[in-house]
Each structure stands twice: as structure tokens, then as C-alpha cells.
Amino acid sequence: MCRLFAIAGREPLSPMVAIEALNVMREGHDGSGVGLFLRDLSGPFEDMKDAPILSGIFSEAGLKRLDAFMMDVGFMTKYKISIKVPKTPPAGVPRRDVYLIRAYEYPEEWEGLGPEELQFRLMTTRLQLRAMGEEKEDMIVFSFWPDVILIKEIGDPLAVARHLQLDRKELAARVILAQGRQNTNYAINLYACHPFFIQGFASMTNGENTAFIPIRTFLESRGFPGYIGYNSDSEVFTHILHYMTRTLGFGIETYKHVITPLQDEDIGRHPDAHFLRNLKQACRPLIIDGPNCVIGCLPDGSLFMVQDRKKLRPGVVGGKPGVFAFSSEICGLDAAIPLRDKSRDFQPMYLDTAVVGPDRQEIRICRQKDPLPLPH
């Protein structure tokens, strides 16, 4: 199993808060990798919320190819974080040339584009860079999006964090997702490391998605260029979330009705029975088969947690007004937010979606048997 931890606060938080929470849960991951998703950034990024930020790992040759490509497209560097690492990395951590976090000015010819076209171009630019990197194995590109940083590496989470000096103030963020990975493959591909991200949506999973093949086939048939990759069977959770929201137009309350629909007899008793029958039929290829615990982040900064029907992966949500965390284990939650009313901690069951909105004031529980906020 892997271990997951996410935290959201009104005030900026160091990535080390999440790393230390993973560290107390280290018996649940084998130290084979770590992934960090940072959103609602502070420090130097506070005043450039609309500037796309490129996150990835590059060889010296790859960096030169990146610079030539970006200049040709018209992107100019606005700000960058220089991560200078020792020549000898910790045991188990690969030696790298450049860990890149760089914010860009948009090309002049992109001025006046609508939000949808702008977001589409950012995504396709990232896909171009990823393809370039896979061709020559000199670039690993995790994200290219405003107000988002993704960091992934092989090795023990705490060792990686110290190696990359993740306690630096420039990396503080108000939303952090972190995964301590357990390697289930013979070779580790960093594109298989959670969290996954597409056009403002992020998610990470502890579990096994045995329905991966039909879900992947359905998503690939949608004709959307971002539904590619799938180095991990968990990446489809992010893409289902994106498809449900961007294509179907539904909110997070509907997510579990897509991935784990109610039994037919329960649908018959639901106030939105007609809608749910149609949804289940239309999205049948997206039904998952766990066990899975999924933690995700929406474009507005809301965090959520869901479980599948098997409920065989742990998960708990807790905190206090101003800061809430989602954790695979209570000890991780205790490490990050020890001073809270623990009687208000919530462990989602298979019908629940636990959500903490961008105001960070409370845990909202959506249950599948409740009416949906749908137009009638």
C-alpha cells in the first residue's frame, strides 16, 4: 500500500508538514518514491497567480532543448527557483542535473484567448514537452499550469525532501497533496507516481484499480488529447474527475455516483432516480473496482476524499477552522494538526464524499443517498 496526506490552510504551509506526516506513516510505504502537489502558492508566486509554472526534471541537454522550444513558442521566463543539489544524492535517490520550477510570461500571440482555449494550449504544450522528453530521455515534465508545482522523485520521502531543501520559503503553499509510494512495478517510472494532474484537477490513490483497462479504453475513446499516459492504474481517477466536471458538467457530489454507483434497488428509492439510472448506464465503463481511497483537489482548491464499496483502504479527515488535513492514518493527522477536536474527525465510508472547501471552515459530507444539487 501507499500512504496519502493532504492539507489545506488559510495560511501558507511548508511542504515539510506533509513530508513529516508521511514519515510517521512510513510503515505503510517502502520509501521507493514521493510525489508532492502544491497549489495556492505564496512567497514569490503570490503576485503571479496567472503565470504558468513548469515543473519537472531535466538533464543539461534537456534544459537546452526546453529553452529553445519555449523561446520558439514565445514563452519568456518570469521567475525560477534554482534547486542546487549535492553531487552525491542520498541512497536510493537518482543523480539529476536540474529540478526545474519556472514561471513564464505568456506568448504575445496568446493575448486575448478565452480561458478554455488558454487552458487547452497549456495542456498541449505540456504534452509536447513530455513527448520530447520521452523521445530522448532528457526531460520529465509533471505540470505546466498557473499556481501549481509538482515535485516527484524516487527515494525515501524525508531523504528526498532534505536533498531538495523543500523547507525553503519559496515553496510554501496553502494546498498540499503528498504521496509516499510503495513500488508495485519492477522499474519505477516517475509518471506513475501520484499525485496526477490535468487542467486544474489533481488526485492520488491508495489501492488497486482492477477495472483499469475498460476505464482507460473509455477515456481514450473520448478524443481528448490529455487522456493519455496511464503509467499507473490510478491516473484514471484524475481523468474521470476531469471528464465528469468539464465534459458532463457535474459537481463533486456526483463523482461517487460515476465511479461507484448505487445498487439498482437503492437508485429506485433515490429522489433523483431517473437521473442516476441514466448516469449509471452512460458511465458504466467508468465504474471502478477497488479497493481504493482517493484524495483529490478541485480547481477552486477544495479537497475531497472518497472510498470505494470495499472500504479496504484507510482514510480520515480532521482539523479546525483555518486548516484541515486528509490522511491515510490518524497518526499522520496527529502529526500535522495535533491541536484539534479529535471527536470531530471523520472517516468516510463507502457512501460518503468528504469535502473541505476553499474557505477551510468545515468538513462537508455528501452522501450518495442524499438529493443531488441538480437542475430539475
Say how far apart CA 209 and CA 201 lie, in whole Å: 19
98 forms beta bridges with 58
Residue 296: is it exposed, middle or buried by C-beta count within 10 angstroms (0-12/13-18/19+)? buried
Determine contact, residues 174/8, Cβ cutoff 8 Å: yes
User: What are the sequence ranges of the domains in the chain?
Assistant: 3-49+147-367, 58-140
The percent of residues above 90 in pLDDT, for the chain, comes to: 85
pLDDT in tens, 166-219: 999 999 999 999 998 755 544 578 999 999 999 999 999 998 888 999 999 999
Strands (E), 147-185: 148-153, 173-181
One-letter identity of residue 113: L
pLDDT in tens, 309-349: 776 688 999 999 999 999 999 999 999 999 999 999 999 99
CATH number listed for the domain at residues 3-49+147-367: 3.60.20.10
Say how far apart CA 186 and CA 183 lie, in whole Å: 8
